[in-house]
């Protein structure tokens, strides 16, 4: 089981596990500064790769609770070579915005797979809270940074997003975003 928190920096929960935009968000998004270190949450074998949604990803397979695995997505970079054995607390990568996180806030999408496959994903928050009991019982529902950027608006229009992204030099999404 988890013994180390996955982000070695100040973080906020920018999207919890559960319903989101008509689907189920199968992990928890932990926003932190770009390139903040990501740690192995327990001892195991780490494999690195890429996928269209997750961008740069790592799957960490537990060495003590097989077939338990953890998934880290949107990494800016990996640390070390893969596959490799890691101890709890080893740096495996860095917070980023790869995959479908491009243009959004830097974060790691973190999942827990009890059976070792993504379809078995469960809410990792209770496991994270067991490591740090000072965390709230539940993260705030969709504590996204987007409402703060746009005065708490429930729906952000493309024009507002375009104005913001032009200012920070990012790509403009081609759809309306619903934020909570």
Q: Edge-to-edge strand order for the sheet containing 55-62?
A: 12-15, 28-31, 107-113, 69-75, 55-62, 44-51, 84-86
Judge if 67 and 30 occupy the same domain.
yes
Task: Indicate whether 58 belongs to any domain.
Answer: yes
The whole-number pLDDT of residue 141 equals 60
In a domain, 42, yes or no: yes
Residue 139 lies in a domain: no
pLDDT at 11: 94
Query: Within a domain: residue 141?
Result: no
Q: What is the pTM of this model?
A: 0.78
- Counting the structural domains of the chain, the total is 2
Q: Which has the closest alpha carbon to 118: 51, 40, 33?
A: 51
Q: Is residue 136 part of a domain?
A: no
Residues 42 and 69 in one domain: yes
Do 156 and 82 share a structural domain?
Answer: no
Tokens at 135, concatenated: 């965390």
In the prediction, which pLDDT does 138 show? 83
**Tokens read off for 22:** 């008509």
CATH number of the domain encompassing residue 57: 2.70.70.10
Kindly state whether residues 110 and 39 are assigned to the same domain. Answer: yes
Q: What's the token pair of residue 67?
A: 């077939």
**What confidence score (pLDDT) does residue 178 get?**
32
Residue 25 lies in a domain: yes
Domain with 125 in it: 12-131
Q: Are 70 and 50 in contact (CB under 8 A)?
A: no
Q: What is the structure's pLDDT at 144?
A: 45
Residues of the chain with pLDDT under 70: 140-180
Q: Are residues 59 and 122 in the same domain?
A: yes
- Could you tell me if 166 and 104 lie in one domain? no
Same domain, 123 and 172: no
Q: Look up residue 87 and give its DSSP letter.
A: -
**Strand blocks (E) in the chain:** 12-15, 18-20, 23-25, 28-31, 37-39, 44-51, 55-62, 69-75, 77-78, 84-86, 91-94, 107-113, 155-156, 177-178
């Amino acid at each position: 089981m988890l013994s180390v928190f996955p982000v070695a920096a100040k973080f906020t929960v920018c999207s919890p596990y559960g319903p989101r935009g008509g689907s189920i968000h199968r992990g928890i998004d932990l926003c932190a500064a770009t390139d903040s270190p990501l740690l192995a949450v327990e001892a195991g074998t780490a494999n690195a790769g890429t996928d269209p949604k997750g961008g740069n990803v790592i799957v960490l397979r537990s060495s003590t609770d097989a077939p338990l695995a953890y998934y880290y997505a949107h990494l800016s970079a990996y640390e070390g070579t893969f596959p490799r054995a890691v101890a709890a607390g080893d740096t495996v990568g860095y917070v980023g915005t790869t995959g479908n996180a491009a243009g959004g806030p830097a974060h790691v999408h973190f999942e827990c797979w009890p059976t070792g496959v993504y379809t078995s994903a469960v809410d990792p928050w209770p496991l994270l809270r067991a490591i740090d009991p000072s965390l709230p019982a539940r993260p705030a529902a969709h504590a996204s940074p987007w409402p703060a950027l746009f005065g708490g608006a429930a729906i952000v229009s493309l024009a507002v997003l375009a104005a913001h992204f032009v200012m920070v030099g990012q790509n403009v999404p081609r759809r309306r975003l619903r934020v909570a």
